[in-house]
């Protein structure tokens, strides 16, 4: 198990690094088609991109 500090400074436990990388990769590419959610999409994509890069750095 590995602990990764997320974008908000919270510790996240990662038990399966390979699965976590795959999941973070999916989430960092997601967005809502409704433009009203553009600001939220931007924040969420930044969060998941940061988390993904931190996971990749562990490999």
13-44 residue pLDDT tens: 999 999 999 999 999 999 899 999 999 999 99
Query: pTM of this prediction?
Result: 0.90
Structure tokens at 40: 């939220």
- The conformational region for residue 37 under phi > 0 = left, psi -120 to 50 = alpha, else beta, is alpha
pLDDT tier, 48 (very low <50, low <70, confident <90, very high otherwise): very high
Coil, helix or strand at residue 13: strand
User: Residue-wise over 21-53: b if at least 16 C-beta within 10 A, else e?
Assistant: beebeeebeeeeeeeeeeeebeebeebbbbbbe
């Amino acid at each position: 198990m590995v602990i990764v500090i997320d974008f908000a400074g919270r510790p996240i436990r990662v038990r399966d690094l390979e699965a976590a990388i795959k999941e973070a990769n999916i989430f960092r590419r997601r967005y809502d088609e409704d433009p009203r959610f553009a600001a939220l999409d931007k924040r969420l994509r930044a969060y998941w991109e940061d988390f993904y890069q931190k996971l990749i750095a562990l490999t």
